[in-house]
C-alpha cells in the first residue's frame, strides 16, 4: 500500500512540474466553464494549432466545394507539407483535410491566398479580426500556418485557444474534418490524422497538433462523454498525449450537466420569452449545491435574463420578452 501511495504522490508531483514548464487549460465545451488551468493567460508561440483559426476563417468566408489551380503562392513554403505544386488543381475540401490532418503548411498558405482574394496578408487580417470577435484578447496572428519566422510567428494563450476550439467545434464541417482518421484527396494523396488521441482515447472528437523549436509541443483536443464535451489545450507541456487523456478522465469523473430550464415558452409577469434549447450548465459536482439560478425581467428593454452562478463560473442567457396586447372583452366576445 505504501508503494502505491508513493507512486501516486510521485505522479501528482510529476504533473505539477509539467504544468510549471508550460501552460494548460481544461474547459467545458458546453458552456466554457474553466475546470482546471495553470498559466492559461501566458502568451506563447503556438505553432500549427494556429491552423484551427485558418480553418474557421476559410469555412466561414470561402467555398467548401471550390476548385482552382495553384500558382506561385506555395513556392517558398517550408516545414510540414502535403506537397502541392504550381499548376496543380486542388479543392478547398482536400486542402482543409491536408492542413488539419497532415498539418500541411503549403495547404494553409494556398487556402489563405484563395480566401484572401490573392492576398495572404488580407487573410491574416481576417484571422485577427475573428480572434477579436471571439474575445481572444492575447492573440496575434502573422501567418496562416504557425511557422516561427524571425519575430513573425503566431502568439496566443491556452485560454484564448480554448475559446477558439470551443467555437470551431460548433461548425459541422470543422467537426467532421478533425474527427477523420484517414483522408484521400482527389489527386490520390492519403493522409493520417496526426492527433494520436483519435486512436488511443475512445472519447476524443478531434484536435490539432503543433510543434516548432520556439513553441515546443502544442496540442488542442476535444472529447465528448454523453452530453458533456471538454476541451484541453497545452502549450509547451511534455508528454502531451498522456497529459490530455489524464485531464479528460479527471473532468469526466468530477463534472456533471445540469438542466436549469427546459426548452419552450417562459412566462414571467405577463411577459413571454421563447427558449429554443434547454438552458444547461456544466458544474463540478462539489459546486452543484452552491449554485444559484435566477430569472430577471427587464420591462424597459423587453428582455428576460437567465443566470446561473456558482463558485467557479457564471453563465448568462438573455432572451427577447414580449407582452401580448390586452384583449378587449364584452360579455362572451373578446377582440
> pLDDT of the chain along its 335 residues, tens only?
444 344 434 444 444 444 557 999 999 999 999 999 999 999 999 999 999 999 999 999 999 999 999 999 999 999 999 999 999 999 999 999 999 999 999 999 999 999 999 999 999 999 999 999 999 999 999 999 999 976 679 999 999 999 999 999 999 999 999 999 999 999 999 999 999 999 999 999 999 999 999 999 999 999 999 999 999 999 999 999 999 999 999 999 999 999 999 999 999 999 999 999 999 999 988 887 889 999 999 999 999 999 999 888 899 999 999 988 766 565 566 55
Q: How far apart are CA 145 and CA 99, in angstroms?
A: 9
Cβ neighbours of residue 249 under 8 Å, at least 6 residues apart?
Answer: none
Instruction: Please give the pLDDT value at position 292.
Output: 93
Q: Which of 90, 35, 32, 33 is nearest to 254 (CA)?
A: 35
Burial of 117 (0-12, 13-18, 19+ CB in 10 A): exposed
**Interatomic CA distance for residues 158 and 109, integer angstroms:** 24
Record the cell numbers describing residue 186, joined without a space: 482527389
How many C-beta neighbours within 10 Å does residue 201 have? 17
What domains lie within the chain, and their CATH numbers? 2-255 (3.40.710.10), 262-322 (no CATH)
276-301 CB burial, b ≥16 within 10 A, e <16: eeebbbbbbeebeeebeeeeebeeee
Residue 100: predicted pLDDT: 98
What is the gyration radius of the CA atoms in the chain, in angstroms?
A: 23
Alpha-carbon dihedral angle through residues 295, 300, 302, 304, given to the nearest 10 degrees: -10
Binding residues for substrate: 208
Look at residues 126, 15, 149 and name the one whose alpha carbon lies nearest to residue 60. Answer: 126
CB 48: neighbour CB atoms within 10 A?
29
**Rounded-to-integer distance, Cα 254 and Cα 297, Å:** 33
237-257 tens-digit pLDDT: 999 999 999 999 999 999 999
* pTM of the full structure: 0.88
Helix (H, G, I), strand (E, B), or coil: what is residue 247?
A: helix
Q: How many angstroms from the chain centroid is the CA of residue 335?
A: 51
Could you give the count of Cα atoms lying within 13 Å of 73 in the half-sphere of its Cβ?
Answer: 24
Provide the pLDDT for residue 5: 42
Strands 228-235, 216-225: pairing is antiparallel
Active site residues: 48, 51, 103
Query: Residue ranges for the binding site?
Result: 208
Which three-class secondary structure state does DSSP give residue 333?
strand
3-class secondary structure, 273: strand
Distances (CA, A) of 150 to 66, 153, 211, 214, 274: 33, 7, 16, 10, 52
Alpha helix (H) residue ranges in 2-119: 2-21, 51-61, 92-101, 105-115
Query: Quick check: 255 and 286 in contact, CB under 8 A?
Result: no
Amino acid at each position: 500500500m505504501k508503494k502505491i501511495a508513493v507512486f501516486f504522490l510521485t505522479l501528482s508531483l510529476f504533473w505539477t512540474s509539467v504544468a510549471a514548464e508550460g501552460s494548460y487549460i481544461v474547459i467545458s465545451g458546453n458552456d466554457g466553464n474553466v475546470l482546471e488551468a495553470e498559466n492559461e493567460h501566458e502568451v506563447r508561440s503556438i505553432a500549427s494549432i494556429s491552423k484551427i483559426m485558418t480553418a474557421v476563417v476559410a469555412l466561414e468566408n470561402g467555398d467548401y466545394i471550390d476548385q482552382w489551380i495553384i500558382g506561385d503562392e506555395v513556392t517558398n513554403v517550408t516545414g510540414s507539407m502535403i506537397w502541392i505544386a504550381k499548376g496543380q488543381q486542388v479543392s478547398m475540401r482536400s486542402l482543409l483535410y491536408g492542413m488539419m490532418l497532415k498539418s500541411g503548411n503549403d495547404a494553409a498558405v494556398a487556402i489563405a491566398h484563395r480566401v484572401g482574394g490573392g492576398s495572404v496578408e488580407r487573410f491574416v487580417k481576417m484571422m485577427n479580426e475573428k480572434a477579436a470577435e471571439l474575445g481572444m484578447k492575447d492573440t496575434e496572428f502573422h501567418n496562416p500556418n504557425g511557422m516561427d519566422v524571425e519575430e513573425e510567428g503566431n502568439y496566443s494563450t491556452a485560454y484564448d485557444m480554448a475559446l477558439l476550439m470551443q467555437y470551431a467545434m460548433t461548425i459541422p464541417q470543422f467537426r467532421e474534418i478533425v474527427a477523420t482518421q484517414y483522408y484521400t484527396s482527389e489527386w490520390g494523396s492519403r493522409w493520417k490524422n496526426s492527433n494520436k488521441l483519435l486512436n488511443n482515447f475512445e472519447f476524443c472528437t478531434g484536435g490539432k497538433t503543433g510543434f516548432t523549436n520556439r513553441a515546443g509541443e502544442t496540442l488542442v483536443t476535444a472529447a465528448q462523454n454523453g452530453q458533456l464535451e471538454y476541451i484541453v489545450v497545452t502549450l509547451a507541456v511534455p508528454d502531451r498525449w498522456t497529459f490530455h487523456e489524464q485531464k479528460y478522465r479527471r473532468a469526466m469523473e468530477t463534472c456533471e450537466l445540469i438542466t436549469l430550464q427546459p426548452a419552450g415558452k417562459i412566462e414571467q409577469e405577463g411577459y413571454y420569452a421563447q427558449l429554443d434549447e434547454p438552458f444547461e450548465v456544466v458544474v463540478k459536482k462539489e459546486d452543484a449545491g452552491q449554485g444559484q439560478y435566477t430569472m430577471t425581467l427587464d420591462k424597459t428593454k423587453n428582455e428576460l435574463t437567465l443566470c446561473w452562478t456558482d463558485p467557479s463560473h457564471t453563465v448568462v442567457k438573455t432572451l427577447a420578452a414580449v407582452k401580448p396586447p390586452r384583449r378587449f372583452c364584452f360579455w362572451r366576445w373578446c377582440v
